[in-house]
Amino acid sequence: MLLLSLFPSLESISPLGLQIVSVAAWLSLIILSAWGVNRFAKADPEIVRKVVHIGTGNVILLAWWLHIPAIVGISASILAGTITLLSYRFPILPGINSVGRRSFGTFFYSVSIGILVAWFWHLQQPHYAALGILVMAWGDGLAAVIGQRFGKHKYKLFGGQKSWEGSSTMAVVSYFICSLILLSVQGNSWQTWVISLVVALVATGLETVSFMGVDNLTVPIGSAALAFLLSQFFSS
């Protein structure tokens, strides 16, 4: 491996150790980037949260590509969820409730990662877990940023305010994410494009009707489950 040739000392570390170090390095980079954006760019706190939101979601790609054992992902999910719950009561993560509304989104985010890893690692089809998490990370993350910055056409649903610009971003990004992952696994076929379209529309609908951050649970699990079930249906 190139990494081992550049750092010979890494050869003494076990494969699992290297996997965990890789994930820890990525998460450290995300935290450092968020700190830098907040410290030097004086960005809106919501922008900083989305940097963490999107960056953290990409960890699922490392877990997939590096073949990290399911138990590691599940354990990390439980730990993150526990810390998140405690942070609602104690100032462990001061920025977690900075969205200006009551939300358990960060907790649901941790739970959804654990559920999807447990489910699709067991089926030896981790790409569906990656699909669900990345739809949430990039779709919802960019939808929030675009909606807040450029959302001029507002609408309300179940007491929550959304924008057509944000919802459109969610749909387009979700479609792109689904297409890219399914293309890499299933190849270029009409099923890939149809599944991606259906998943993108459903994910956008789930994000639209969210409340108290529950979309961080329904969107990733719903997207992954729908893509998996449709793929099974078309293949049969």
Distance CA 160, CA 128 (A): 29
Structure confidence by residue, pLDDT tens digits, 81-94: 888 888 777 765 55
Q: Name, in order, each residue with C-beta under 8 angstroms of 123's C-beta and a sequence gap of 6 or more.
A: none
Structure confidence by residue, pLDDT tens digits, 158-182: 666 788 898 999 999 999 999 999 9
Structure confidence by residue, pLDDT tens digits, 188-234: 999 999 999 999 999 999 998 877 788 999 999 999 999 999 999 99
Residue 103 has pLDDT above 70, yes or no: no
Structure tokens at 201: 């529309």
Let me know the angle formed at the C-alpha of 59 by 99 and 141, rounded to the nearest 5 degrees.
30
Question: H-helix or E-strand containing 161?
Answer: strand 160-163
